[in-house]
Structure 1
């Protein structure tokens, strides 16, 4: 019959050895799990970054035009007028389509991201073209921009910017309009001719409106 004290010592030795074995193995298993989790996380991050980059890139755009107009009444005696760049925005917020000359433009000043189903119409071969856009002001001081939606004749993702500002040298009020197109369905020459006519009309109507603000004769 084995000595009881000998058995007790043997069992204690085995328990210590087992605990030591677990202490060695457990961290290794945890480290392996952590390594797999880290790799998975890095993969997910890389995929998310690629998707974000692709979304930010959007359609390939090219500049179609870039024009600057003096905002003034259609009167040869004025080279320009030193009106505040805030004034045209105030007029637009009172009534957007009172000066903005594109069909289906809303009377009420648009909200951020609002869909506007504009229709561009002109005499001759241009006819009427669908021009749905969304309205944005982010990053624009005294201005806004449109982003073309599916079905727009310039192609979805095209952009046109409008900004009022005061000339640094003269102080005269100006309207800056510039545009980028994705896949226009009309020739560039026709497209630019239509746009220039519309934005000159917009500029003139705004000049008349602001002139009335500064005159008691209106």
Structure 2
């Protein structure tokens, strides 16, 4: 009987511990499930806000001081890129008509996308919107070559393992007037140019090698 009492007491103790830990364990599971990257969360937001659009491209690249193979990347903080854009927006952002002063929320920008070859120059009026950590997005207005309501998102973030600074650009189009292949090629070239200019500026600001 004495052993039986001891075992019963032990079982009751275990049960009480499990009950006490239960809510904490469940909370941990929820936290783990909800701990997605900011970039993924913003992409989801973009997908929801562009229900009537389709995704045209999704580009990720390391921000390097130049395009030489010897530079694999630099562990700059994403906030440094935004600080540089606030210092001078069109010093790195490569689209014609971009202002020198960093845009304000819902500001209209009369951009014009120009490239050699069949793309030529296209009107690209947009409105600026924040709400993206270390980034922003543009919403296309009437007359934009991608169609009104199209969106392009920009975000700087740190690569998970290396902590190298990355530029992520992704876009949704509603009624594009340019063939997808040409549109993607133009966008890739322009955002690589943006990426390169930002790397040069940050290298100069950090190390003074201007």
Change beyond 3 A, Cα 1:186–1:216? closer
Q: How does 1:43-192 map to 2 (within 5 A)?
A: 60-74=52-66, 75-138=68-131, 140-192=132-184
SS in 2 for 1:176: strand
Contact 2:124 2:144 in 1 (8 A): yes
Which residue of 190, 197, 200 corresponds with 1:198? 190
Contact 2:109/2:126, CA 8 A, preserved across alignment: yes
In 2, the alpha carbon distance for the partners of 1:128 and 1:213 equals 33
Which stretch of the first structure deviates more once superposed, 102-111 or 67-76?
Answer: 67-76
Cα-to-partner distance string for 1:133-168 (whole Å, 9 max, x where unaligned): 000012x00000000000000000000000000011
Secondary structure at the aligned position of 2:110 is classed as strand
Distance (Å, rounded) in 2 between the aligned partners of 1:58 and 1:79: 34
Matched positions, count? 162
In 1, Cα distance between equivalents of 2:118 and 2:59 = 24
Structure 1 residue 216: deviation in Å?
A: 3.0
Structure 1: 5+ residue stretches without partners: 1-55
Q: Which has the larger radius of gyration?
A: 1
TM-score by length of 2: 0.75
Q: CA deviation at 1:59?
A: 6.7
Q: Which runs of 5+ in 2 are unaligned?
A: 1-47
Counterpart Cα distance in 2 of 1:150 and 1:127: 19
Q: Structure 1 stretches (4+) deviating beyond 2 angstroms?
A: 56-59
